[in-house]
Amino acid sequence: MELLFLGTGGGTPSRQRNVTSIALLLKGARSGCWLFDCGEGTQHQILRSPVKPGKIEKIFITHLHGDHVFGLPGLLTSRSMSGISGAMTLYGPKGLRQFVETSLSLSGSWLTFPLEIVEIEAGEVLNDGHFRVVAYPLTHPVECYGYRIEEHDKPGALDAARLLADGIKPGSLFQQLKQGKTVTLEEGRVVNGQDYLGPSLPGLTLAIFGDTSPTVAAQALAAGVDVMVHEATLEAALEEKANGRGHSSTVQAATVARDAGAKRLIVTHLSSRYLREDVSRLLEECRAIFPNTEMAHDFSLFRIEK
């Protein structure tokens, strides 16, 4: 899988950063794409990226502040005007349905594809057999969530040599055995695929935070994840100001990653006050606490792997 950051600014866009949207490219799992938030101008960012609107299966909204949702009506209507018919599901806090339906109705817009809107609460919001997504409540002036994405463990490698030694010839049954299923051979022998599989391969885990000041849910949301994405709206010297507006500082983001046992931290959602020359200083504030920290810029692409 890969994370592509379409917008990495906080609050308002700047010349160097658009407002928030992150694409999760499900490579290796399937060809689709999930979006996390859809700030104003996201569809313009998509035009400059490898993301295809027709491949977007789901959009997860962390909260209803404009810098996270104002791009949603435009993306939905442009997707329709392109004649895309593939279904899409939106997940987000209460009020998301009203926001979308009112925007479409008042603008005289319509959709050419099935759209499902799921207004969530804390807890599991999705389990499709390949991924499980759990929402955790964050601390922000409006209802806001972070999403933990867990890829289900993958079956271990099939020991073909053992199968051959036991007189089981290659064929269509091998695929079923590789999935751990029990099959019956032509001669009536019953074979359990689990007996011929190596140790299962753990799936990838991600934590994508919405806007938040320090919160009790952070440790559970990010516990042991392979990649954690967290806002770092302001520098450490402005921590009190950040917290007063429901945001976190560089040091606070890094502290969550360290205490949660995350393996890798990507910081995003920087205030528009910061220019390119400020990046190294902000990044060093994070790395002093959690060395394996990277900073996202618009169109940054990060591969997610064990």
**Residue 106, helix vs strand vs coil:** helix
CATH number of 2-154+201-303: 3.60.15.10
**Contact 123/96 with Cβ under 8 angstroms?**
no
**pLDDT band per the 50, 70, 90 thresholds, residue 209:** very high
pLDDT over 80 at 179, yes or no: no
| Selection from 162, 221, 217 nearest residue 193 by Cα | 162
pLDDT over 70 at 235, yes or no: yes
Q: Which two tokens stand for residue 282?
A: 């902000």
Query: Domain spans of the chain?
Result: 2-154+201-303, 160-196
Kindly report, residue by residue over 136-172, the tens digit of the pLDDT: 999 999 999 999 999 998 777 777 888 788 777 777 7
Lowest mean pLDDT among 30-34, 52-56, 143-147: 30-34
pLDDT over 90 at 178, yes or no: no
Question: Looking at the annotation, which residues are catalytic?
Answer: 67
pLDDT at res. 100: 97
DSSP string of 116-159, one letter each residue: EEEE--SEEEEE-SSEEEEEEE-BSSS--EEEEEEEPPBP--B-
**Euclidean distance between CA atoms 10 and 6, whole angstroms:** 13
pLDDT at res. 176: 76
pLDDT over 90 at 300, yes or no: yes
**Contact 90/115 with Cβ under 8 angstroms?**
yes
Interval 14-37 mean pLDDT: 91
Confirm whether pTM is higher than 0.85: yes
Kindly report, residue by residue over 253-265, the tens digit of the pLDDT: 999 999 999 999 9
Most confident of 101-115, 154-168, 179-193: 101-115
